[in-house]
Amino acid sequence: MNESEQDAATGSTDRAHGTDRLDELVSWDADWAGLRVVVAGIGASGFSAADTLIELGAAVVVVDAQVDDENEAKADTLRIVGAREVLLGAEYATTLPLVDGEPAELVVTSPGWRPTQPLLAEAAAAHIPIWGDVELAWRVRIRQGRPTAEWLTITGTNGKTTTVGLTESMLLAAGTRAIAAGNVGTPILDVIRDPQGYDFIAVELSSFQLHWSHSISPLASVCLNVAEDHVDWHGSYGAYLAAKALVYERTRIACVYNVEQRETEAMVEQAEVIEGCRAIGFTTGMPSISMLGVVEDLLVDRAFIAQRKDSAVELAAVADLGTVVPRHLVADALAAAALVRAAGIDTTAVRAGIRAFRPGDHRIQVVGDEDGVLWIDDSKATNPHAAAASLASFESVVWIAGGLSKGVSYDELVREHAGRLRAVVLLGEDPGPLQGALARHAPGVPVSRHPGSDDQDHDGTAADAPTAELLMQWAVAEAARLAREGDTVLMAPAAASMDQFSSYAHRGAAFTAAVAARRARATTAEES
């Protein structure tokens, strides 16, 4: 690999081309006027970044390969508020444009753009700094006349959104002005520009966002867990882990790690943190000193109390988390509690926040309980690691699984949980990888596929392929046929949804609707 290719692969931001000026841009009130910036991407984060930079007085050119009505509308808005140019079309995403006739001084990229994307690779090869929207938000968070929020940063392969929501709920229960933002949905720059400001921001960070962040110094941080994911974007699992580990860099008060996953503790050990920062563990077992954990179905803190050498303080009961409480939800609650305790939040607010929290749809969501069979929607389980956490929560499972596998292996998942499988109902246009793992490691478990999945017409497409809703109705009917009293029908696909559904939410909604429709038909039959 030559030097230019290496820069492109790593997103190098070696110092050149006026980076001395960038070093001074550490508040909203700094001199951003005339800074030449290319914004890569016009999605939610890219639009927010461009709008912010224009408001700051920078000279902004926006580039996006996608041309559609939504992007055209966003482009019109940005032109009205002062963008120099908005360039839509694939031909514009291959070369770094000039800004006011001169080279850009900075590129701000949307998180989905890979480091090897041609425009970003060109910027890296030219040693033009590349920031993400989160890096920009950190730079402008300080503004005269408004409070400066403390950041609690959260990453992990799974559980980020739940933990961010729990963190926000605990902070609100304490009476602070707090909000969840970042990868969770609300662009972080929209939060930063709120006129009233916030006391705390619970910031969900993807590995993509962390890759493009360089100076964030949170009050407390956590990597919940890691498993193989997004290798196509990062280039290797090692690079993915390195990106996740960036969440701990420059942490000031507490680096929170998962005691049950050594990789996260190693990240803390290797992180460059602010002197005095503590390493705080969380575990779903009995906690040692400087940890949060579980004792006799109680969540307890043995880290943020003076008597931690020989005692712990109760935070909440496991039952406060809901009716069905999988182990990973307990872990997420403990991680959130560690973050807010690092921020000085008292135990009563932790308990109140847990009780007030409502998980998002399609995350271990009970959607039916009929004739001794529990129906669970965990469509958000889009990879084997997440599905493993779901399966571990139930003893006897009819598993609805499969979808867009993204090249992952299912052998470890099936081998670990074969003993709890009553039967498996397969979704997905290519269920082969999961079906192969089932044949190798659970050969006695009945496996059902849609009867049309093997029928191919002359051009290689499925003949008479069912709609997504009809497919899910078949899956629910098949699961009902296979289930016995005491079983759980668990829809935790361990795969992405986009081969047959528009999103994991669409898949989960189809499952919920199919379960409800089946229940309604059964009720009508009983009454007639």
E strand or H helix that includes residue 151: strand 150-155
C-alpha closest to that of 135 among 60, 200, 82, 189: 189
Binding residues for ATP: 156-162
Instruction: Render 285-304 in DSSP notation, one character per residue.
Output: S---TTEEEEETTEEEESSS
Cα separation of 382 and 408, whole Å? 11
| CB of 112 closer than 8 Å to CB of 132 | no
Q: Give the 3-state secondary structure of residue 50.
A: helix
Phi (first) and psi of residue 289, to 5 degrees: -60, 145
Residue type, 265: E
3-state secondary structure of 95: coil
One-letter-per-residue 3-state SS of 159-190: CHHHHHHHHHHHHHHCCCCEEEEECCCCCHHH
Cα-based torsion angle of the residue sequence 178, 181, 184, 188 in order, rounded to the nearest 10 degrees? 170
Residues 6+ apart with CB under 8 A from 470: none
Instruction: Summarize the annotated binding site as residue ranges.
Output: 156-162
Amino acid in position 95? T
Collect all residues with Cβ–Cβ distance below 8 Å to 310 and sequence separation of at least 6.
Answer: none
d(CA 474, CA 484): 18
Spatial separation of the C-alpha atoms in residues 399 and 392, rounded to whole Å: 12
